[in-house]
Structure 1
Amino acid sequence: MTDTPLAETSRPRRYMSPHRLGVSLLFLMNGFYMGSWAPKIPIFAEKLGLSEGELGLMILVFGVGSILAMPMTGIFNARFGSTSVVRAAALMFLPSLILITVVNSIWLAVIVIFFFGGLMAAMDVSMNANTVAVEKVEHRAIMSSCHAFWSLGGLLGAGLGGFLISTIGPLGHAIAATVLAGAFLAASFPRLVADTPDGEEKHQKIRLPMTPLPWLIGVVALFSMIPEGAVTDWSALYLHDELGVDIAWAGFGYAAFQLSMTTMRFAGDLVRDRLGGVTTMRICAVLSVIGLLLAGLAPTTPIIIIGFAIAGLGISNMVPIAFSAAGNLPGMAPGIGLSVTTTLGYSGILVAPSAIGFLAEHTGFAPIFVGLSLLHVIVFLLAPLMRYADRDKVG
């Protein structure tokens, strides 16, 4: 297995270069596994006899495992490089779906779910760090499209999951998903850029950053992902319960949001290369504010759904730009800046939706979506920090 040195700086002419394909396949595999887990949740709960509350605690264990793993992964990335770490994390992540399927006691399930969340997060942080390395080598943005591949993987995993479970059973589905995920990794690993710290970087003292810059970029990721989680978890309930939309149509708000977000992520790299990280982030923030305000204030269902679609266009590239900026901070190993940003960002999508549900019991969801738009006003004000996302194009 041969890696291409990070020092290579020739500008590729193909859209999908080997390095880009390699890291995109990592995102596809990670999203595919998360999508494959979704249709297994009811079976997992039924097998273990979990109530809704107990299942909620299991999902919380997943979130705790994820959040704890992210800063540790940043340290490993800084010490060993993202290429080695992402390979190790992905290989340990690979058998997790089979373990989730065969586990037959609650306490073993707690352990498996904890490591499932932790390894997912470890792979996530390190593959984002490897994406930053590819951006430096190729002098162009690729982060948004990588996140689009994650979304595609999720759709593929969720779409195949229910069909495979019904035809070959839960264990057959887990084995088939593992084989396909293994094929993604086998195609990915030989194409990964060699992101290895030099001798001086290896001997630097590694600690959480004491400067405010990575934490402020983490706030951008946090405020970007809280509305994303809110739309994902609550848009259908908002349309059905509060606005009286038929259940057959209630899911169209999230579908419009997800479709526009995934589509724009494939175009987002070209936009950022042309306009720069700061301007792109400002445009995204404005679009999202408009979309969230429409979702909360519009008088008719079609305009509300259009609002969710506009919000998806805006939110699509916020997190990828923030991750690129965090991975390019001067005087800081990419893994450390990214670990701060991912930990703060994903805490928003893992923890905030439950708090939003509690608030909505007292206020309704319309004021929630209006209030969430204020978070992206703050993102707009912090957009100048996204100039660091463009450091990868400095020769």
Structure 2
Amino acid sequence: MLQHYMNDKIATRVIFLIAGMITAMWAVIVPFAKMNTGINDAVLGTLLLCLGAGAIISMPMAGPLTSRYGCKNVIIVSTIIMVVAAPFLSFISHPILLAFFLLIFGVGVGMTDCAINVQAIIVEKKEKKALMSGFHGMFSLGGIVGAGLMTGFLALGVNIIASTFLILFIIIFLFGISFRHFLPYANPAEGPAFAIPKGIVLVLGIICFVVFLVEGTALDWSAVYLVDSKHISDSLGGIGFTAFATAMTGGRLTGDYIVNKFGALRVVIIGSIIALLGFYFVITGIDLSILLTGYFLIGAGCSNIVPVMFNQIGKQTTMSQMVAVPAVSTLGYIGILAGPAMVGFIAHHSSLSHAFIFVALLMVIVLLLTIALQKVMNANQGSL
């Protein structure tokens, strides 16, 4: 019955939802993986780097593969990789094996992310109207659903392994009713898979790197931080990322209206300040309500910064858009997938609170770079 209402646009929304769910599921598993293996923060940071490495390895492959085999086949294979690898993350007790399955899981995450964005671009062009914010909003909604359900199952006394399988059953069901409507084709391959960013594009890439690093920190470290540093019950560890993802979703779904009303630069500046306020609450807070407020503010503040930066790619003339987009995207994904490893090393040599202070300082750089970027864009093509 549900398939009767399915089309490629709805199917694209569903696969973004699935990608968000399975990524958020890992966020809740992280402290359990740490306990199962008995590793410290530094080793955990290294293992998270394995996940990022797997994703970064697979990302350049996704474009040529979708061009040759179509979005549908690539998304099917990459989703299967994630679903098969995910259960092992919840019970493996040997760090080397965990590193291996994180690498495999990362391959699936990276390839899925690129392939669904390729499909989203094609569907948006075919529909001849803006859909991208809505697609990415579904990813954020998936984060809420995945982290919320996992946290709920754990709070009810379901163990982490069973909770993981329950989420995967939901994912398999959603995938089963939608995969037939994934696009069996993609655009022909054109342009380099990767280019080193320069000039304004480098500034855009750095900003995206930092904001994605913030998102990666919330994804991979929020549960560990609440449980280990703030002594919150491990069954509630995922609630921090849930608050972050809720604010991120709301910000993305209303982003076009907000930017049109207040202006892109103002949104970035205000967003950076809001995120910094959120970090203050997260770092200094003790009460759970204050901590959750902090995570919510970080999500709300960061939600529209990256879309604004990608909008500026089309306005700059330093690099062609075909080259600039993959360059900025790669920097961004390095931030979200590999950046959290930095947090682990800082936490090992100091504390997680100090690591979060470091990430907050990076947000100050975003604020300063955005102001500098406005001056350049004003001189070249007008203000943000």
Query: If the length of structure 2 is used for normalisation, what is the TM-score?
Result: 0.70
Residue 285 of structure 1 pairs with residue 285 of structure 2: no
Q: Does 2:47 align with 1:58?
A: yes
Please say if residues 64 and 114 of structure 1, whose CA atoms lie closer than 8 Å, have aligned partners that are also in contact.
Answer: yes
Matched, 1:178 2:168: yes
Distance 2:47 2:213 in 1: 21
Is 2:359 the counterpart of 1:340?
A: no
Give runs of aligned pairs for residues 379-390 of structure 1, distance below 5 A. Answer: 379-382=370-373
Tell me the C-alpha RMSD between the 2 structures.
4.7
The superposition leaves residues 144-201 of structure 1 with CA deviations (integer Å, 9 ceiling, x where unpaired) of: 423322322432452355268726x82x54543333211111223233356512xxx3
The CA deviation at 1:342 is 4.1
Q: Which moved more, 1:186-195 or 1:22-31?
A: 186-195
SS in 1 for 2:168: helix
Query: What is the 5 A alignment of 1:315-330?
Result: 315-322=302-309
Which secondary structure does the structure 1 equivalent of 2:194 belong to?
coil
Contact 1:145 1:269 in 2 (8 A): no
Q: AA paired with 2:142? A: W
Q: Is the 8 A contact 2:276 2:360 kept in 1?
A: yes
More moved, 211-220 vs 250-259: 250-259
User: What residue is the counterpart of 1:12 in the other structure?
Assistant: none
Which residue number corresponds to residue 114 of structure 2? 125
2:99 maps to 1:115:
no
Aligned residue identity for 1:51: I
- Distance in 2 of aligned mates of 1:96 and 1:240: 26
CA drift of 1:127 comes to 1.7
Q: Is the 8 A contact 1:90 1:119 kept in 2?
A: yes
Q: Deviations over 1:78-105 (max 9, x none)?
A: 5555444223211332222244467676
Unaligned 5+ segments in structure 2 are 378-384
1:72 aligns with 2:61: yes
Q: How does 1:1-395 map to 2 (within 5 A)?
A: 18-41=7-30, 44=33, 49-52=37-40, 54-77=43-66, 80-100=69-89, 107-138=96-127, 139-143=129-133, 144-162=136-154, 166=158, 170=161, 172-193=162-183, 196-197=186-187, 201-202=188-189, 204=190, 206-209=192-195, 212=198, 215-230=202-217, 233=221, 257-271=244-258, 274=260, 279-280=263-264, 282-293=266-277, 295-296=279-280, 309-322=296-309, 332=322, 336=326, 339-347=329-337, 349-354=339-344, 357=347, 361=351, 364=354, 368=358, 371-377=361-367, 378-382=369-373
- How big is the shift at 1:280? 3.3
Q: Cα deviation per residue 1:98-133 (whole Å; 9 max; x = unaligned)? A: 444676765444322210122112112222332233
Deviation by residue 1:208-260 (Cα, 9 ceiling, x = unmatched): 2256376544323102123344566469969997xxx8958999987654432
Tell me by how many angstroms 1:364 deviates: 4.7
Name the CA distance, whole Å, in 2 between partners of 1:211 and 1:35: 30
1:393 corresponds in structure 2 to: none
AA of the residue aligned to 2:299: G
Q: SS of the counterpart of 1:208?
A: coil
After superposition, the Cα gap between the structure-2 partners of 1:106 and 1:369, relative to the gap in structure 1 and judged at 3 Å, is closer
Count of aligned positions: 358
SS in 2 for 1:119: helix
Between the aligned partners of 1:246 and 1:107, the Cα distance in structure 2 is 28
Partner letter of residue 340 of structure 1? T
CA contact (8 A) 2:191 2:322 kept: no
Cα deviations by residue, 1:325-376 (Å, 9 ceiling, x for unpaired):
7799956289845752443342464334335546865995786466233222
2:209 and 2:336 in contact (8 A); partners too:
yes
Q: Which amino acid aligns with 2:65?
A: F
Deviation at 1:283, TM superposition (A): 0.6
Q: Counterpart of 2:144 in structure 1: which amino acid?
A: L
Contact 2:122/2:186, CA 8 A, preserved across alignment? no
Q: Which residue of 1 aligns with 2:380?
A: none
Task: Check conservation: 2:78, 2:111, Cα contact below 8 A.
Answer: yes
Summarize the Cα distance change of 1:348–1:205 in structure 2 as closer, same or farther, 3 Å threshold: closer
